[in-house]
Amino acid sequence: MPRLTVQGFGPDGDELRASAILDLALGDPVTATVRVGGPNGDVLRLAGVPVAVPGGSTDRFALDIRLPEAMNDTGMTWHELLGAMTHESGWRLSVSVADPAVGAARARHGIVTGAGIRESEANRAWGQWP
């Protein structure tokens, strides 16, 4: 089953950089949806974020996601946001990617929907930190 695991995130110059591992090869180009949620709900939701796929094996691919400061409309700098996420409870970062290969992998196992998956999202893999 395709699994997306958020490995970590941090500042890289003026960008917020997140890395994830996907247990499936995807087509090109790959885009992601990134959400940052706090104790009171989502504070940032970005769709269509370009993802670099620097390499991987035939069944595990590294995903490199970069969010420029211009995408940050939270009212905090990336450093302030990261400080809150790492020192206060209730924060999370989630990443999802959509590709027909995800749905095809699920279909090979006879899975088209399940807990937390609407049928329209069968092509989507997602992961979350923490």
DSSP track, 23-67? SS---SSEEEEEEEEETTEEEEEEEEEEEEEEEE-SS-EEEEEEE
pLDDT in tens, 30-79: 899 999 999 989 999 999 999 988 766 567 888 999 999 999 999 999 99
pLDDT in tens, 7-32: 999 999 999 999 999 988 887 788 99
- pLDDT confidence tier of residue 112, bands split at 50, 70 and 90: low
pLDDT of residue 108: 85
pLDDT of residue 102: 87
Global confidence as pTM: 0.86
